[in-house]
């Protein structure tokens, strides 16, 4: 990978684990498109760039010998075979992790995954807790479902080990990510049939999480008293448009939360600045309208009780993290960074991000202008309906299914709350949809500006009614 792409990988804000291949609380954002270029293999020289050292510090200097020793130890513990002849066959990085792949003589591959916060004073207590929570949750999912998730062979959440950094060692997931197959005409069979198989297999895979339900929003914490819900974690790597953007990295924690409203209001309140527009009136109006939209979100209930309950969901449920075989069958789902319980609107049953990218207008049009392949809005609507139909086959609880149909709207709402760079344009799209097709773009822009100074009671009631109708789901 060239120096430019290596630097680009460091600046993005979308979490990624690469195997063969904003975020906690963040859906698709500006950075997601860059994940695609970060999938290329990086040799040792490329990793040692100045930009990567800013991001990963001493982690880029971990020696091949120490990585092989670490992998050999876990290979021996697991198989009883001592193999000192393993080979480091690949090293890759995303924005928040470095991944090394070791292959042993028998052909088995082990993955060593190291968090970008795992050096110096970046590995705070919050970073350590988030790291352990991810591992324990992956183990919990592996134990309680048949979902194809990487098996954790072991981990260390400190620095006293072979590589001098926190790590997890896990099994290798074979396959190719969906983003490599979705537009690939050269694969076996007809492309459309492969796409439908991907969606069917993905719906069946994600439905494995339907029986896991929780009473609060946060991460799973396991102690002697059993399973409890702990804080939410998310990455912070600066504010768009400010000097610290891309130059800092830390894990922030908040919560846990007992309601969807509390959770979303916190997401919105904790993300100040970073808007694309430099017009404070536009930014204030977008925020005011977003608060109104959040107030209209239906509760996260199971249809049998008025009390909210919550489910597990991926923070980066996108095509680069879904591995498939050549027929389109899902072989594994990777990147479980900051995995947590979520309102059902954003949980396991929601649309994968690439099927909802048109509801993040900034990202969608940015990718189109850069000639990235994307489906048309009409095609995306079609595939969303297909995925909904697939989910209907596998979900036993109709109350979860009722939220699937509008999960692209719910997801865009979460994105707008957590990512100010997308906020104005997502609010504008939701407003256009809520007010009807006859609403002119200029009128929508005026409404956004008016909202900054307060709407009249009549105007506010009319807009709220539109939001309620747009977000309504039947019981």
- Look up the CATH number of the domain holding residue 146: 3.30.200.20
Structure confidence at residue 224 (pLDDT): 82
Residues 75 and 87 in one domain: yes
Residues 433, 362 share a domain: yes
155 plus 16 within the same structural domain: yes
Q: How do beta strands 226-230 and 232-236 pair?
A: unpaired
Q: pLDDT of 293-304, one tens digit each?
A: 999 999 998 777
* pLDDT over 80 at 162, yes or no: yes
Find the helix packing angle between 280-295 and 441-453, rounded to 10°. 90
Cα–Cα nearest to 342, from 148, 202, 137: 137
Answer yes or no: do 39 and 56 share one domain. yes
Instruction: Answer yes or no: is pLDDT of 414 > 90.
Output: yes
Mean pLDDT over the full length of the chain = 86
453 pLDDT more than 60: yes
Q: Per-residue confidence at 4, pLDDT binned at 50, 70, 90?
A: very low
Element housing 103 (H / E) = strand 97-103
Domain range for 132 is 3-175
Torsion of CA 339, 342, 347, 352, to 10 degrees: -60
Burial class (CB in 10 A: 0-12, 13-18, 19+), 372: middle
- pLDDT of 448 reads 86
The string of DSSP codes covering 396-436 is S-HHHHHHHTTHHHHHHHHHHHH-HHHHHHHHHHHHHHHH-
Q: Higher confidence at residue 16 or residue 381?
A: 381
470: confidence class by pLDDT, cuts 50, 70, 90? very high
Question: Please, where are the H alpha helices in 211-323?
Answer: 260-269, 280-295
Say what the pLDDT of residue 34 is.
Answer: 36
Question: Which residue did the predictor score with more confidence, 389 or 454?
Answer: 389
pLDDT class of 29 with cuts at 50, 70, 90: very low
> Is it the case that residue 207 has pLDDT exceeding 60?
yes
With a cut of 60, say whether residue 284 has pLDDT above it: yes
Q: Of 77-81, 248-252, 440-444, where does mean pLDDT reach its minimum?
A: 440-444
189 in the same domain as 91: no
Q: Do 263 and 124 fall into the same domain? A: no
Grade residue 39 by pLDDT with cuts at 50, 70 and 90.
very low
Residue 198 has pLDDT above 50, yes or no: yes
What does pTM read for this prediction? 0.85
CB 173 within 8 A of CB 20: yes
Check residue 19 and give its pLDDT: 35
What percentage of the chain exceeds 90 in pLDDT?
Answer: 66
Task: Please give the share of the chain, as a percent, with pLDDT higher than 70.
Answer: 87
CA distance 54 to 168: 22
pLDDT at position 220, please?
97
Does residue 345 surpass a pLDDT of 50? yes
Report the candidate in 324, 378, 382 with the shortest Cα–Cα distance to residue 188: 324
Which among 175, 201, 229 is the end of a domain?
175
Q: Are residues 194 and 169 in the same domain?
A: no
Residues 234 and 137 in one domain: no
Q: What is the pLDDT of residue 95?
A: 86
Instruction: List, for residues 225-280, the tens digit of each pLDDT value.
Output: 789 999 999 998 877 777 777 778 899 999 999 999 999 999 999 877 767 777 88
Q: Residue 381 sits in a domain of what CATH number?
A: 3.90.1200
Same domain, residue pair 123 and 189: no
CA distance 406 to 471: 7
Minimum mean pLDDT among 160-174, 177-191, 409-423: which range? Answer: 177-191
Query: To 5 degrees, how large is the angle CA 303–CA 309–CA 315?
Result: 115
Answer yes or no: do 143 and 189 share one domain. Answer: no
Helices (H), 108-253: 125-144, 178-181, 191-206
**Residues making up the chain, counted from first to last:** 475
Are 168 and 263 found together in one domain? no
Distances (CA, A) of 110 to 38, 47, 107, 173, 220: 20, 20, 10, 9, 26
Q: Which of 145, 175, 205 is the last residue of a domain?
A: 175
Residue 441: per-residue pLDDT? 66
Statement to judge: residues 83 and 119 lie in one domain: yes
Contact 244, 155 (CB under 8 A): no
Asked whether residue 362 carries a pLDDT value surpassing 50, the answer given is yes
Q: Is the pLDDT of residue 438 over 70?
A: no
Tally of domains in the chain: 2
């Amino acid at each position: 990978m060239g120096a430019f792409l290596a630097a680009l990988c460091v600046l993005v804000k979308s979490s990624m684990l690469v195997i063969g291949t904003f975020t906690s609380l963040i859906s698709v954002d500006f950075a997601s498109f860059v994940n695609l270029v970060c999938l290329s293999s990086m040799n040792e020289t490329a990793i040692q760039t100045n930009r990567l050292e800013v991001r990963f510090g001493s982690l880029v200097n971990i020696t091949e010998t120490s990585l092989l020793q670490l992998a050999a130890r876990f290979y021996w513990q697991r198989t009883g075979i001592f193999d000192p002849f393993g080979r480091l066959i690949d090293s890759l990085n995303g924005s928040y992790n470095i991944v090394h792949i070791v292959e042993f003589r028998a052909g088995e591959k082990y993955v060593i995954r190291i968090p970008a916060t795992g050096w110096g004073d970046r590995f705070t207590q919050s970073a350590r807790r988030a790291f352990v929570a991810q591992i324990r949750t992956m183990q919990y999912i592996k134990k309680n479902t048949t979902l194809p998730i990487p098996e954790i062979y072991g981990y260390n959440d400190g620095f006293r080990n072979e590589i001098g950094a926190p790590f997890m060692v896990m099994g290798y997931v074979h396959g190719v990510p969906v983003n490599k197959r979705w537009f690939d005409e050269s694969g076996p069979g007809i492309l459309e049939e492969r796409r439908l198989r991907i969606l069917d297999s993905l719906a069946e895979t994600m439905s494995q999480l339907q029986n896991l339900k929780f009473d609060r929003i946060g991460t799973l914490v396991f102690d002697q008293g059993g399973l409890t819900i702990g804080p939410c974690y998310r990455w912070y790597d600066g504010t768009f448009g400010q000097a610290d953007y891309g130059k800092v990295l830390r894990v922030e924690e908040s919560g846990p939360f007992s309601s969807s409203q509390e959770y979303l209001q916190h997401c919105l309140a904790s993300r100040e600045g970073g808007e694309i527009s430099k017009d404070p009136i536009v930014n204030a109006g977008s925020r005011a309208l977003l608060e109104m939209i959040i107030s209209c979100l239906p509760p996260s209930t199971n249809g049998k009780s008025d009390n909210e309950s919550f489910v597990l969901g991926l923070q980066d449920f996108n095509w680069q993290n879904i591995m498939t075989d050549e027929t389109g069958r899902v072989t594994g789902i990777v990147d479980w960074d900051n995995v947590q319980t979520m309102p059902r609107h954003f949980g396991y049953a929601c649309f994968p991000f690439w099927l909802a990218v048109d509801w993040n207008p900034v990202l969608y049009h940015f990718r189109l202008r850069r000639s990235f392949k994307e489906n048309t809005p009409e095609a995306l609507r079609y595939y969303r309906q297909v995925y909904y139909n697939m989910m209907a086959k596998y979900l036993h609880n109709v109350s979860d299914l009722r939220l699937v149909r509008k999960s692209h709207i719910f997801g865009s709402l979460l994105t707008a709350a957590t990512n100010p760079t997308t906020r104005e344009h997502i609010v504008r799209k939701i407003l256009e949809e809520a007010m009807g097709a006859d609403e002119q773009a200029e009128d929508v822009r005026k409404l956004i500006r008016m909202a900054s100074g307060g709407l009249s009671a009549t105007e506010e009631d009319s807009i709220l009614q539109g939001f309620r109708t747009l977000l309504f789901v039947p019981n």
